[in-house]
Amino acid sequence: MAETGTPQATSRRRFVDWVLSRTLTTWLLSTSVGGLILAIFYPAGRYLVPPAAAESTAATVTLPFGPNDVPPNSAEIFKFGSRPGILVRTPSGEFRAFSAACTHLACIVQYRDDIGHIWCACHNGHFDLNGRNIQGPPPAPLEQYEVNVRGDQIVVSRGA
């Protein structure tokens, strides 16, 4: 048939024959083009339709302030992923870090230097400097984080 038509018509017919033939499947499999296409579309698809689970939160954060910015018997709120944390410097100068979300209704806690407690203003909940709930409605202790002071940097990490 190729000898009877024009070169353009012959080309089209050969192309159609090629597309319709079983050779296409064999060719796709043998050259792994199928895999290549999957490799392109799968990540794009997962990006366009992501899984329902949220991204895992940060495990470590370097605080935007140094040890000298937090005098003894005071505290600073910091951002840990998208959640609040509180760095407390005890009256003896030790650094301790906790989740700043009250375990009652997730209000942001603060440090009370007059009584040396971590305190939630929403419902007058009190936590001691180990994060333990000691007074008021909070039903559980605050999650404690690890604190490492490296020179003039404070690094807070979620416990293993």
Partner 1 sequence: MGRQRVGIAAFIWLVGLTGAAGGAQAQENNCVTCHSALGGRLAAPVEAFQRDIHAEKGFGCVACHGGDASIAGMGGMARELGFVGRPRGRQVLDVCGRCHSDADFMRRYNPSLRVDQVTEYATSVHGRRLLELGDTAVATCLSCHPAHNVRPPSDPLSSVHPVNVAATCAACHGDADHMKPYGIPTDQREKYERSVHWAALSEQGDLSAPTCNDCHGNHGATPPGISWVGNVCGQCHSVMADYYEESRHATTFTMLGVPGCATCHQNHEVTRPADDMLGLDEGAVCARCHAPGDRGGETALAMRSMIDSLQAAYHAADSLLGAAENHGMEVSQALFELGGANDALVTARAAVHSFDREIVGAEVTDGLEVAVRAFARGEDAMNELRFRRTGLAVSVVIILALIAGLLLKIREVDYRATVTET
Task: List interacting residues with partner 1 (CB under 8 A).
Answer: 7, 11, 14-15, 18, 40, 44, 47-48, 50, 52-55, 79, 81-84, 101, 105-108, 121-124, 133, 136-137, 139-140
Among residues 53 and 68, whose Cβ is nearest to partner 1?
A: 53
Cα pseudo-dihedral 46, 58, 144, 95, rounded to 10: 180
Rounded to the nearest whole angstrom, what is the least distance from the CB of residue 58 to partner 1 in the complex? 8
101 DSSP 8-state letter: B
Among residues 18 and 65, whose Cβ is nearest to partner 1?
A: 18
Among residues 55 and 150, whose Cβ is nearest to partner 1?
A: 55
Cβ proximity of 141 and 132 under 8 Å: yes
Among residues 20 and 150, whose Cβ is nearest to partner 1?
A: 20
Long-range contacts of 122-125 (CB under 8 A, 24+ apart): none
Rounded to the nearest whole angstrom, what is the least distance from the CB of residue 137 to partner 1 in the complex? 6
Which residue from 91, 95, 106, 99 is spatially nearest to 137, judged by alpha carbons? 106
